[in-house]
Amino acid sequence: MIKNKKVKALSIACAVVAGLAVTATANAHPRWIVPSHFTVSKEGGDWLTFDVTASHGTFVFDKPAGSETGQIIMPDGRIQYPSYVTKGKRRSIFDFYFEEEGTHKVRVNNVPSYYTQYKAGRRDTVKWAKAHKAERDQVLPEQARDVITQVSYTRAETYVTVGKPTTKAFELEGKYLELVPVTHPSDIVEGEEVTFQFFYNGEPQQGVTAEITREGTLYRNHQEQLDVVSNEQGMVTFTPDTAGRWLMKANYKGELPDNPLADTASVNVHLTFEAVLQ
């Protein structure tokens, strides 16, 4: 434990020294969504329930992330909203009745947040202001230099399939970082290779980094995460070795040319999926 803290403190110190963007996102607890079931076989449909929280452990409830922005992309592409949204101190929950055949995408995305980093005064201390590009001039001191505005945006998503799997719900919005499950989420099987594809503003993106962890980090000594980086086509491949629920946390830091609100983006996709038994 002590060792971990030291490592963490050291890495933060390094980042500060290097003048890197230690953003709110980098330190924030990753937000994720976990469904009670990923598959519905009941004729006429069934209620499923979802937990939403933000934590450092994989599927350990911690911070009270809300579900107000929750959406269900139906198999035909239209959008529905959760039922019975409740927010507790350590998580929020909602339910939804799944009755249409096909694959649904369930997501709780956040609202883009903008931070401007700058230096001012004689010292080269990096300072932060919660302001986007269009409003930063009113907030920053006149002599501010090395000014960069970054947008942070995180998609927390998962897939639920009723009966026969479909792919319409995978369609891109063309905004920030997005993941297309080339291996269908209902076809992820322990010991079999999985392929996902990443898109940044609608284009396949190389260099997206992702870490993939199996549930239950609280009960093992090491994260045992899989680390992947996307190739030229935006593809990553990995093999979940055991059945269970997994969380993929993907991040990409990119430029935003000609964007009126930000210069750079640090954008995430947090996907929860299950690897089923052979």
Residue found under tokens 């409740």: 86
3 state DSSP class of 104: strand
Q: Which is nearer to other proteins, 44 or 260 (CB)?
A: 44
* Stretch of 7-15, 23-31, 54-62, 158-166 lying at the interface with other proteins (CB under 8 A): 158-166
Q: Which is nearer to other proteins, 43 or 258 (CB)?
A: 43
* Sequential DSSP letters for 117-151: EEE-SSS--EEEES--TTTHHHHS-TT-EEEEEEE
Smallest distance, other proteins to C-beta of residue 276, A: 5
Q: Which is nearer to other proteins, 4 or 278 (CB)?
A: 278
Decide if residue 103 touches other proteins (CB under 8 A). no
Decide if residue 97 touches other proteins (CB under 8 A). no
Please pick, from the candidates 77, 121, 191, 202, the single residue that binds other proteins as defined by CB under 8 A: 191
* Stretch of 120-128, 150-158, 188-196, 215-223 lying at the interface with other proteins (CB under 8 A): 188-196
* Sequential DSSP letters for 48-83: EEEEEEE-SSTT---B----TTEEEE-TTS-EE--E
Closest of 148, 146, 144 to residue 121, by C-alpha: 144
CA distances from 278 to 34, 93, 182, 190 (A): 22, 30, 19, 6
Token pair for 266? 């640090």
Smallest distance, other proteins to C-beta of residue 74, A: 17
Residue found under tokens 């491949």: 237
The answer to whether 133 and 118 are in contact (CB under 8 A) is: no
Please pick, from the candidates 190, 211, 215, 263, the single residue that binds other proteins as defined by CB under 8 A: 190
Amino acid identity of 1? M
* Stretch of 1-9, 37-45, 196-204, 228-236 lying at the interface with other proteins (CB under 8 A): 37-45
Please pick, from the candidates 39, 55, 58, 264, the single residue that binds other proteins as defined by CB under 8 A: 39
Q: Which is nearer to other proteins, 46 or 62 (CB)?
A: 46
Closest of 113, 184, 120, 172 to residue 147, by C-alpha: 120
Q: Phi first, then psi: what are they for 156, rounded to 5°?
A: -115, 120
Smallest distance, other proteins to C-beta of residue 161, A: 7
Q: Which residues pair with 253 in a beta bridge?
A: 266
Smallest distance, other proteins to C-beta of residue 210, A: 23
Q: Which helix (H) or strand (E) holds 114?
A: strand 113-119
Amino acid identity of 167? T
Smallest distance, other proteins to C-beta of residue 225, A: 20
* Stretch of 24-32, 76-84, 139-147, 270-278 lying at the interface with other proteins (CB under 8 A): 270-278
Decide if residue 224 touches other proteins (CB under 8 A). no
Q: Which is nearer to other proteins, 165 or 204 (CB)?
A: 165
Token pair for 236? 């990553």
Residue found under tokens 């039922």: 83
How many CA atoms does the CB half-sphere of 150 hold within 13 Å?
19
* Stretch of 50-58, 104-112, 163-171, 216-224 lying at the interface with other proteins (CB under 8 A): 163-171
- Contact set with other proteins (CB under 8 A): 37, 39-43, 46, 161, 163-165, 186-187, 189-192, 276-278
